[in-house]
Amino acid sequence: MSLTMPQPDDAILARRGEIIAALRRIVPGEGVISQPHELKPYETDGLTAYRQPPMAVVLPETTAQVSAVMRYCNAQGVKVVPRGAGTSLSGGALPLADAVLLGLSKFSRVLDVDYENRLAVVQPGVTNLAITRAVEEMGFFYAPDPSSQIACSIGGNVAENAGGVHCLKYGVTTNNVLGVELVMMDGEIIRLGGRQLDAAGLDLLGVIVGSEGLLGVVTEVTVRILPRPQTARAVLVGFASIQSAAQCVADVIGEGIIPAAMEMMDRSAVHAAEAFANVGYPLDVEALLIVELDGPLAECDYLIGEVERIARANAAVTTRVSRNDAERLAFWAGRKAAFPAVGRISPDYYCMDGTIPRRRLPEVLQRIAGMSASHGLRVVNVFHAGDGNLHPMILYDANRAGELERAESFGNDILRLCVEVGGVLTGEHGVGVEKRDLMPVMFSEIDLAHQQRIKCAFDPGLLLNPGKVFPTLHRCAELGRMHVHRGQVSFPDLPRL
Amino acid sequence: MTSVLTPTTSDDLSDAIADAARSGTRLAIAGGGSKTEIGKPSNAVRLDMRGFAGIIDYDPPELVLTVGAGTPLSEVESLVAAHGQMLAFEPWDHGPLFGKPAGAATIGGVVAARVAGSGRLTRGGARDHLLRFEAISGKGERFVGGAKVVKNVTGYDLPKLMAGSWGRLAAMTQLTLKVLPRPRASATMVIYGLSPVRAHAAMARAMSSHAEVSAAAHIPKVSGAERSTTALCIQGFEPSVAARCALLVDVLRDHGTLHTLPAAEAESFWRAVREVTPLASSKTLWRIDVAPSTGPAIVDAFESLGARWLFDWAGGLIWLAFDGDAGRVRPAAERAGGHAMLVRAPEAMRTVVPAHHPRVPAVAALEFRVRRAFDPHGIFETGRFLDESNAD
Ligand SMILES: Cc1cc2nc3c(=O)[nH]c(=O)nc-3n(C[C@H](O)[C@H](O)[C@H](O)COP(=O)(O)OP(=O)(O)OC[C@H]3O[C@@H](n4cnc5c(N)ncnc54)[C@H](O)[C@@H]3O)c2cc1C
Ligand SMILES: Cc1cc2nc3c(=O)[nH]c(=O)nc-3n(C[C@H](O)[C@H](O)[C@H](O)COP(=O)(O)OP(=O)(O)OC[C@H]3O[C@@H](n4cnc5c(N)ncnc54)[C@H](O)[C@@H]3O)c2cc1C
């Protein structure tokens, strides 16, 4: 692997026993894990190409314990890596050899459901789906729905600003979180936001969401819940070319329709999904769209008709409307099984996550096909077409020498292409360690310095989840002095009124 | 000394800021200045951002718009309206509220002041629609945050911080905003004569229903009308709006009789709510953000002290016109778990009562560090917000 992680601190490693003893005093019983074989399950997250057992794992049960652990680690100069369910696809929860891995799995309670104000207060270890489960009997749901929703934790969702197929209409995590309780690296416990829509002062909650565990440990989350839509219907539309599928997507939105979800698969993805899930996808198409409309019955009926009309105008070769919920779910079953389906046709795959302006889709796919040929690796494309978030999956075999490296280099080329056409490195999976070294493709040194100064405002010792997100983590004092200015020219000519 | 700087290029702006940093000059970043009467008056040099005006890039099917930060709000609004789209956070011009002509507000000013209308309830605020910005920080450095695409988690979400930064972090030169299709049809249904408690209950019931209500507000009798009005807005495509209105009648049958407001009346009702016109004559105006269920007790308490008020955001936003003891307002908001902003007040009050609700010490200290991250010399600290011990 090509990635360099921060050099472990020998002085800290030498004090391992003492540090573990101190952690045991804070979190008694089975809350501290230190045996090598017990550390193994924690050595990686969803980005399994990278593995590193932590120095120790601590599983606190209360905010006070989290605070005490952080205060101790801060005072002793010990690094801390927060971990939710460990499903990150960017290595955000990858441990460090000289760091304490702070797991939130015991924070698994739904604390309050407030239907009157349409919100739920939960602990960070609660899974995404469990929030919906807790409120569905009253007809509500929690909208952001990452495909990993049975497993991933809401704390991890907050840290990654997770999205999902229904985020086109309902927004991503950041649009659905009202408040958090946060423990900072020095052990200070603060609350940002609350049960109201806006917080007083700077929107610090807005930077906490998506901060990838670098600014603080989230110990409580308040989320908005919404009434579950009365009905949902989906249309499956096949096209003879990517161009016409992309035009159809643009026209749907151009007509003022914001579907609940709008997903696209290319030919190889359709074939892989159909072979795996047998849901009746048309196999003679270059692109397949699943457009889901939800809301009151009258709205669904009307919009389904509109989408069919737009699809026909874009020369759709097949159009099928779900007649009942079972059929709608079948349409989704193939798309949702994209990962395991690809797992069946290739020993390993590497899932990318760039976003592009939608209008560039045909060109980008063509260039990805060219890269596929030159890297000698196949690629399968699924994407959140409504918001331009691509998930190309690069197929490789880690047992074949050099293939992992080739897959990574292919992936990096795709992400550079996304930035080149005006897009970004990651739409929902986060930078983590995976895209860390590509950050300069998108941001200048000055841009990154402004981001890192925020890190310094929260964690001046740079002890919380270091080695993630930033290609170079400058010491905070050094960053304060860094001053890049185009010259010492004053502004004598500037007009003054 | 009240001089004004009017840079028109990023380089000039950068020089002006770097120069201010060297000489210790304080800069008050201003758009149209429609909000200059918020907070304590200051004598900092005015940094007029209206030179950064114009539409930079607009591709309607992408739902993304890039404009100069000094572009008049009205110009942005008419451009997107011409393409059947809208700024879904419904920013509005505060000029008239402060006795100034309309039309001065800039897009940078409304975003920096986190201005949002009734649609904030369901479609999000400025924070949710600012995708990217370019700015010059307090060191005179040009930097960007975010990107020109709707879905992005690359690096910290700096646009969130910049929305609601009130000119205290950096001077924004360019903004990229998410735009949304303008609803094809709109209907407003009202119930007359509800008390605050019953209005809250009706709005909560409506918001929990399948009617997909996009805005909910309540103007009480005490604020000038002959009876109170609780209004629910339903928007979308024609057949859907009709069906949802019918559904709403059914859902709210235990709460009162629903009437459909004629279009012109509906429009003026929502403008009145958004621009707080029923409370326009009061000297002191507060904006209280709370969980909706706590609103009725707050307004009951202040009504008995002579206050007038209205609810927006299904009761989560209380506009309170209260000329009595300012010391009562914030404790009441805090007891409800929320906060209160002093929007309009006589100058004497503004020099002692901070515009923004004071934060607890740990959060205030953190905010201070974050502000210094962008503005290490404190040149954007004009003393206006009364929370800066070393500001003048
Ligand atoms: C099969 C599969 C499908 C996926 N589909 C999607 C998808 O559709 N959309 C999507 O957005 N993502 C998806 N993901 C990625 C992943 O599930 C999300 O990023 C998720 O939010 C991670 O949550 P987690 O609890 O597993 O966090 P972890 O993996 O444990 O941690 C992720 C990051 O969050 C930090 N963190 C975790 N908990 C906290 C906390 N309490 N406080 C502070 N920091 C914390 C960690 O330090 C780390 O940086 C998928 C992953 C898999 C394996
Ligand atoms: C709670 C509240 C209270 C208000 N009180 C008043 C009031 O007392 N008087 C009044 O006239 N209006 C008031 N307004 C209205 C509001 O100030 C303006 O409607 C809105 O900001 C219009 O933009 P502007 O260009 O006039 O902004 P300005 O009033 O010029 O600026 C508003 C804020 O944004 C900052 N800002 C402006 N442009 C930029 C930029 N390019 N980059 C960074 N920061 C920038 C300013 O420093 C200032 O803090 C209030 C609004 C709200 C939400």
- Reported as a pLDDT band with limits 50, 70 and 90, residue B93 is confident
Q: Give the separation between CA A410 and CA A349, rounded to whole angstroms.
A: 12
Lookup: tokens for A472: 């170079």
Question: What is the location of CATH 3.30.465.10 in chain B?
Answer: 1-182+360-378
What confidence tens digit (pLDDT) does each residue in B119-172 have? Answer: 999 999 999 999 999 999 999 999 999 999 999 999 999 999 999 999 999 999
Q: Give the separation between CA A223 and CA A226, rounded to whole angstroms.
A: 10
- Which amino acid belongs to residue A481? R
Q: Is residue A20 part of a domain?
A: yes
C-alpha A88 to ligand 1 mean position (Å): 4
Q: Which chain B residue shows the shortest CA-CA distance from A390?
A: B151
Beta-strand pair B339-344/B285-289 = antiparallel
B381 alpha carbon, closest ligand: 2
CATH of the domain at A76: 3.30.43.10
Within 22-81 of A, beta carbons closer than 8 Å to B belong to none
Residue pair B212/A296 in contact by the 8 Å Cβ criterion: yes
- Reported as a pLDDT band with limits 50, 70 and 90, residue A337 is confident
Residue A148 and residue A221 share a domain: yes
Q: Is residue A266 part of a domain?
A: yes
Q: Give the separation between CA B213 and CA B235, rounded to whole angstroms.
A: 7
Q: Is residue A153 part of a domain?
A: yes
Residues of B whose CB is below 8 A from A250: 61
A48 alpha carbon, closest ligand: 1
Q: Is B388 on the interface with A (CB under 8 A)?
A: no
The C-alpha of A195 sits at a distance from chain B's nearest C-alpha, in angstroms, of 5
Residues A12-34 have a mean pLDDT of 97
Beta-strand pair B180-181/B85-86 = antiparallel
A353 alpha carbon, closest ligand: 1
* Contact state of A494 with B7 under an 8 Å Cβ cutoff: yes
Q: What local confidence, expressed as pLDDT, does residue A496 receive? A: 32
Residue A143 and residue A172 share a domain: yes
Lookup: tokens for B15: 């020089």
Within 126-155 of B, beta carbons closer than 8 Å to A belong to 127-128, 137, 139-145, 147-155
Chain centroid to Cα B227, Å, comes to 28
Residue A198 and residue A119 share a domain: yes
What confidence tens digit (pLDDT) does each residue in B217-265 have? Answer: 999 998 877 899 999 999 999 999 999 999 999 999 999 999 999 999 9
Of A203, A227, A251, the one marking the end of a domain is A227
Residue pair B49/B69 in contact by the 8 Å Cβ criterion: yes
Q: Is the predicted pLDDT of residue B40 greater than 70, yes or no?
A: no
Does any ligand 2 atom lie closer than 6 A to the CB of residue B241?
no
Residue A186 and residue A261 share a domain: no
Residue A117 and residue A223 share a domain: yes
- Over chain B, what is the mean pLDDT? 93
Residues of A whose CB is below 8 A from B370: 202, 204, 454, 457
Q: What local confidence, expressed as pLDDT, does residue A481 receive? A: 65
Q: Is A454 on the interface with B (CB under 8 A)?
A: yes
Residues B60-68 have a mean pLDDT of 95
The CATH classification number of B185-345 equals: 3.40.462.40
Q: Which H or E element spans position A6?
A: none
Q: Is residue A3 part of a domain?
A: no
Beta-bridge mates of residue B142: B136
Of A420, A454, A480, the one marking the end of a domain is A420
Q: What local confidence, expressed as pLDDT, does residue A474 receive? A: 87
Lookup: tokens for B325: 């003891």
Taking CA atoms, A208 is separated from A45, A64, B156, B182, B276, in Å, by: 21, 20, 8, 31, 32
Domain, as residue range, for A24: 10-103
The C-alpha of A280 sits at a distance from chain B's nearest C-alpha, in angstroms, of 31
Of B3, B63, B247, the CB nearest to A296: B247
Coil, strand or helix at B165: coil
Of A207, A255, A447, the CB nearest to B144: A447
Q: Is the predicted pLDDT of residue A308 greater than 80, yes or no?
A: yes
Give the E-state strand segments of A46-176 in sequence order: 56-58, 79-83, 99-103, 110-114, 119-122, 140-141
Residue pair B63/B87 in contact by the 8 Å Cβ criterion: no
Coil, strand or helix at A476: helix
Q: What local confidence, expressed as pLDDT, does residue A39 receive? A: 97
Burial class (CB in 10 A: 0-12, 13-18, 19+), A339: middle
Q: Which H or E element spans position A400?
A: none
Rounded to 10°, the helix A325-336/A338-345 angle is: 50
Q: Give the separation between CA B95 and CA B280, rounded to whole angstroms.
A: 12
Residue A405 and residue A318 share a domain: no
Q: Give the separation between CA B21 and CA B4, rounded to whole angstroms.
A: 16
Q: Give the separation between CA A371 and CA A416, rounded to whole angstroms.
A: 12
In 3D space, the residue among B49, B64, B34 whose CA is nearest the CA of residue B344 turns out to be B34
Q: Is residue A495 part of a domain?
A: no
Beta-strand pair B259-260/A79-83 = unpaired
Lookup: tokens for A393: 């999956």
Q: How many CB atoms lie within 10 A of CB A102?
A: 27
Residue A76 and residue A32 share a domain: yes
- Over chain A, what is the mean pLDDT? 94
> Which of A197, A418, A424 to probe the B interface (max B CBs under 10 A)?
A197
DSSP A153: B
Q: Give the separation between CA B244 and CA A48, rounded to whole angstroms.
A: 48
Q: Is the predicted pLDDT of residue A495 greater than 90, yes or no?
A: no
- Reported as a pLDDT band with limits 50, 70 and 90, residue A2 is low
Does any ligand 1 atom lie closer than 6 A to the CB of residue A160?
yes
Residue A215 and residue A129 share a domain: yes
Percent of chain B whose pLDDT exceeds 90: 87
Residue pair B200/A110 in contact by the 8 Å Cβ criterion: no
Q: Give the separation between CA A338 and CA B86, rounded to whole angstroms.
A: 36
What confidence tens digit (pLDDT) does each residue in A85-134 have? Answer: 999 999 999 999 999 999 999 999 999 999 999 999 999 999 999 999 99
Q: Provide, for chain B, the percentages of residues in helix, strand and coil under a 3-state DSSP scheme, each rounded to the nearest 5.
A: 35, 25, 40
- Which of A83, A192, A350 for a ligand 1 pocket mutation test, highest count of atoms within 8 Å of Cβ? A83
Residue A125 and residue A217 share a domain: yes
Residue A309 and residue A206 share a domain: no
> Which of B153, B367, B385, B386 to probe the A interface (max A CBs under 10 A)?
B153
Q: Give the separation between CA B379 and CA B22, rounded to whole angstroms.
A: 10
Of A44, A76, A103, the one marking the end of a domain is A103
A81 alpha carbon, closest ligand: 1
Q: What local confidence, expressed as pLDDT, does residue B99 receive? A: 80
Residue A356 and residue A315 share a domain: no
What confidence tens digit (pLDDT) does each residue in B268-284 have? Answer: 999 999 999 999 889 99
Q: What local confidence, expressed as pLDDT, does residue B96 receive? A: 81
For chains A and B, what is the number of CB pairs under 8 angstroms? Answer: 302
- Which of A160, A455, A459 for a ligand 1 pocket mutation test, highest count of atoms within 8 Å of Cβ? A160
Q: Is residue A146 part of a domain?
A: yes
The CATH classification number of B1-182+360-378 equals: 3.30.465.10
Within 252-281 of B, beta carbons closer than 8 Å to A belong to none
Residue A209 and residue A145 share a domain: yes
- Which of B8, B14, B34, B344 for a ligand 2 pocket mutation test, highest count of atoms within 8 Å of Cβ? B34
Number of domains in chain A: 5
Q: Provide, for chain A, the percentages of residues in helix, strand and coil under a 3-state DSSP scheme, each rounded to the nearest 5.
A: 40, 20, 40
Of B149, B184, B364, the CB nearest to A256: B184
Q: Give the separation between CA A42 and CA B76, rounded to whole angstroms.
A: 51
Residues of B whose CB is below 8 A from A118: 204, 207-208
